[in-house]
Amino acid sequence: MKFKLPKLLGLFSLLSGFLLALTCKRAPLTSAEKEAIINKKVDSLLAKMTLDEKIGQMSQVRHFDSIGENGVAEKFIGSIIHTDGPIPGETALEWQEKFIKLQKQALSTRLGIPLLFAVDAVHGQNTFEGATIFPHNIGLGATGNPDLVKKAAEITAIESQATGFNWVFSPCIAIPYNEKWGRVYEAFSESTETTNELTKASVQGHQGNLSDKSTVMATAKHFVGDGSTDFGVEGGTTSLTMEKVREQLLPPYQAAIDAGVGSVMVGFNSFEGIPLHAHKKLVTDVLKNEMGFDGIVVSDWMGYSKYGRNKVVNAGVDMLMAVDGDLEKFQKGVKLGIKKDTVSMDRIDDAVRRILRQKFRLGLFKNPFPDSTLIAKIGSQSHRDVARQAVRESLVLLKNKNNILPIAKHKTIAVVGEHANSSGLQSGGWTISWQGSAKNYEGATTILEGIQKLSTGKVIYDEKGTDKKSKADVAIIVVGEQPYAEFFGDIGHSSNNLKLTLTKEHQQYIKNYTSQGIPTVVVLISGRPLVVTRQINQSDAFVAAWLPGSEGDGIAEVLFGEYDFTGKLPHSWPKFAKDYQTNKFGPNFWDDNLTPLFPLGFGLSYK
C-alpha cells in the first residue's frame, strides 16, 4: 500500500508529538495553579457538607475532653489540641498512636475530613519531656539572629510532628509595653522592627514547605495589643489609639501574613471597649480584608462563651477552642443563630472554607498520619547543638568590672542558688506543664552541670547561698524568678506575690558573697527585665540570661570564654520600681519621660 507524502508527513508529525509527550515532563505547577486546585477541592467539599458537619469543623477540643468514645466522628470535630492535663502516652510513639486513633475516627465519617492536631509549642515541643527546649522568645529576641530563629522553628516543627502534631500555637508576636505583664517572655522584643524580622523567620521555619511531613502550621498570636494593655494586665484594656496600633502592633502580623502564616489567634484583651474576640472591625475588616489574611482565625481558651458567643463567630473567628464544657454551648448556639438568622451561612461557609483550605495546604487529605521515623530526632544532639547556640547568643552582658569575665577554668568556683541546678527553673513557664515547675526534666543540662563539665578546677555548689567562709576564687550566683505563665505571671495579680525585684533570699545570696570580697558574677534567670539596679552595682559582672531552656551548658561556654557575648537587650532595662506605679506603659522606650538603666540594644562583649 502506498501513502502520499502529505499523509506520511502527518503520521510522522503525530508520532513525533507522541514520542515528545512520553519524553517530556510537565512543568511544575505554579503556586497560583496549586491554589486554584485547592480552592476547587474546597468548594466541592463544602457543597456536600451539612450544617452539623460545618459546625463540627469549626470545633476544637482536647484529646481528653469528655465528648464520648466516638465523639470526634459523631460531632464532626475539626481539631484536637493537647494542653495541660493528661498526656497522650508515655512515649512519643504512644502519643502518635493516640492521635492516629482519633484521626482514623475522623476519617471514618461520611466525608472523611482529617483533623488538625494543635499544641502550645512556644519554645520547642515543650509539652513532651525529652524534647529540645529553646530559650523563650525574649531570649531569641536578644540574639537578633533570624537564621537561628528559623532553625529553632524548624526543629520545633520536626519534634512537634514526631509527637503527632501538625499545628503549633507559635510564635507570639506581641509588643510588650510593660514588664508587669506575665507573658513578656513569650514575645521577641519591644521593638516592632525586631519583631517583624523574627516573626518572618519563625513562620518560615515552622511552615517550610507546608505539605512536608516535618513541618507544621504556625500561629501568630494574640491579635492584637495583648502585650500593650494598661499596666500590663493579661486580658486587660489596650487603650492605644488606632493610629498607634497600626504603627506599632500590626506590622508583625503583616510580616506573618506575607510569610504565609496559616493561622492567627485572637487575644483575651479589649480594644475600643470591645473584646478582640468580638471585634469585627479588627478581625474581619482589618486582618482578613485589609491585610489579606486567608488562613484560620482561632479563638483562645473558651473564647466562645467568654466573649459574647455568636458575636465571636460574627466577628470573624473561624475555629473555636471549645473546651471545659464549651463544645455543646458552641455547637448548639451557632445552630440556633442560623435558625434565628443572627448568624449567616455566608459567615459559616467562610470559616469552614478557611479551615478546609489549610487542611489541603498541609496535605492532610493525602497524608493524614504522623511519620514515626521522626521520633528518633526528638532531643537529638544536632537539635540540642542549635539550642545551645541559641543560649549562647541570647546572653546579654550588662556589666564586667575589671574584666572578671571570662573565668579561667582552673579556678575554684562557687556556684550559688537553686536556679543553678534546676532545668525547670531555668526554663520557666510552658515547660512540660503549663505553669512550668522547679523540677529537672529529661534530657536537659543545668547551668551547674555545664560549669562542672567545662571546669578543670574545683566547683563548690552552695544551693542556699549560706557559705560564710567560702574558699572560692570566684562566685557564680544564679538568681531569678519562679516559673509562671499567662495571668499567673502578672505582677500585682492576686494569685501570686511576684515583684519586679529579686526576692530577699536572692538578694542575700549576692550580699553574702560580695561581703566576703569574693569576685561575683550574677546570672539572672527571668522572663523579663527586673529592677536589679542595686544588685548590678554590688556585683563585679552581671548577665541577663532570660529563660534559656534545656541547654544550660551554653551559659558555661560563654562564662569560660569559649564564646563571646553577642546578645543585645530586646527591651530597655528599668531603673526603678516606682516608675511602674503610675505609668501604665512602663519605663521602656515608649516613654520619653523616663530614662532606662540600659537602653534597647545594649550589650557588652569581651572585645
Residues noted as catalytic: 300, 486
Strand partners, 523: 478, 543
Query: What is the rounded distance in angstroms from the CA atom of residue 181 to the CA atom of residue 486?
Result: 8
Decide: helix, strand or coil at residue 219.
Answer: strand
C-alpha cell at position 181:
505583664
Place of cell 438568622: 341
Neighbours of 593 (CB within 10 A): 7
**Identity of residue 548:** P
**DSSP codes joined into one string, 501-542:** S--HHHHHHHHHHHTTT--EEEEEE-SS----HHHHHHSSEE
- Helix/strand/coil percentages in the chain, nearest 5: 40, 15, 45
Which segments of 354-428 are extended strands (E)?
396-400, 413-416
Helical segments of 112-239, H only = 137-143, 146-162, 192-207
Backbone angles phi, psi at 432, to 5 degrees: 65, -55
Q: Distances in Å between the alpha carbon of 75 and those of 50, 114, 298, 377?
A: 12, 13, 19, 35
If 0-12 CB within 10 Å is exposed, 13-18 middle and 19+ buried, where does residue 524 land?
buried
Count of alpha carbons within 13 Å of 167, Cβ hemisphere only?
31
If 0-12 CB within 10 Å is exposed, 13-18 middle and 19+ buried, where does residue 517 land?
exposed
C-alpha cell at position 527:
522572663
**DSSP codes joined into one string, 15-79:** HHHHHHHHHPPPPPPPHHHHHHHHHHHHHHHHHH--HHHHHHHTEEEETTSSS-TTHHHHTT--E
Q: Which of 231, 295, 228 is nearest to 258 (CA)?
A: 295
Instruction: Kindly tell me the sign of the dihedral angle through the C-alpha atoms of 382, 383, 387, 393.
Output: positive
Which contacts qualify for 80-85: CB closer than 8 Å, 24 or more apart? 80/115, 80/116, 80/117, 80/118, 81/117, 81/118, 81/119, 81/321, 81/323, 82/117, 82/118, 82/119, 82/127, 82/165, 83/119, 83/120, 83/127, 83/323, 83/434, 84/433, 84/434, 84/435
Query: What is the rounded distance in angstroms from the CA atom of residue 232 to the CA atom of residue 526?
Result: 17
The string over 392-403, giving b where at least 16 C-beta atoms fall within 10 Å of a residue's C-beta and e elsewhere, is bbbbbbbbbeee
Q: Which of 135, 134, 146 is nearest to 195 (CA)?
A: 146
